[in-house]
């Protein structure tokens, strides 16, 4: 580990914005990594430091570089509900074919965790892989039902997914659809949304 590597990660840990500007003025390697495989942008994303993320992305930092946990700034911002950093990543070449450790997209954990604003932002792009299936055999829609409590946030997310054209017919590894899961859990509002979506198709 070089002193240069230590320096920037100390600056980030201290959330020292002027120190970051000084470091960037030296035209450093933006993709150097710490012992966890994190680039400076990844470290900043974990702290949800939007001004620092902005500086690094403006300087050309890679929003798709993954650390040892397979997180990238884009993927983690989606999963953690960090809307501002997610937007910066989307403007700066977010790659939809880079997947997390579950072989999933940024959308899937955002749906599970109820991050409505992130879901809305990702679904603005019609080319987003809305029906991508992760290693568990789940799409964003399946995960929004299986791992949710059926409350208002997840009702809204299921509606957003359906409105954006998410397939309601994809089954999990056990051959069970999102509607079947909703019925098992007695999620009345979600059942209603999914039944209406199936009728329209």
**Per-residue pLDDT for 3 more than 70?**
no
pLDDT tens per residue, range 61-87: 999 999 999 999 999 999 999 999 999
Burial of residue 97, with CB atoms counted within 10 A of its CB: 0-12 exposed, 13-18 middle, 19 or more buried: exposed
* CATH code for the part of the protein at 1-101: 1.25.40.20
* CATH code for the part of the protein at 107-201: 1.25.40.20
Q: Which pTM was predicted?
A: 0.95
% the chain with pLDDT above 70: 97
- According to DSSP, residue 34 is labeled -
Grouping H, G, I as helix, E, B as strand and the rest as coil, residue 145 is helix
CATH 1.25.40.20 residue window(s) in the chain: 1-101, 107-201
pLDDT tens per residue, range 43-56: 999 999 999 999 99
């Amino acid at each position: 580990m070089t002193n240069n590597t230590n320096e920037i990660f100390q600056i980030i840990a201290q959330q020292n914005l002027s120190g970051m500007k000084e470091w960037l003025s030296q035209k450093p390697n933006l993709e150097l990594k710490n012992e966890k495989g994190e680039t400076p942008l990844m470290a900043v994303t974990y702290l949800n430091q939007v001004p620092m993320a902005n500086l690094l992305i403006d300087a050309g930092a890679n929003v798709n570089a993954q650390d040892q946990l397979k997180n990238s700034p884009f993927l983690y911002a989606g999963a953690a509900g960090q809307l501002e950093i997610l937007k910066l990543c989307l403007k700066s070449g977010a790659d939809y074919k880079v997947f997390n450790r579950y072989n999933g997209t940024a959308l899937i954990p955002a749906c599970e965790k109820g991050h409505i604003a992130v879901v809305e932002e990702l679904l603005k792009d019609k080319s987003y892989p809305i029906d991508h299936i992760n290693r568990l055999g789940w799409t964003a829609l399946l995960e929004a039902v299986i791992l949710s409590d059926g409350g208002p946030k997840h009702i809204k997310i299921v509606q957003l997914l359906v409105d954006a054209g998410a397939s309601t017919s994809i089954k999990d590894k056990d051959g069970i659809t999102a509607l079947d899961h909703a019925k098992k859990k007695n999620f009345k509002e979600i059942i209603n949304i999914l039944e209406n979506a199936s009728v329209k198709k």
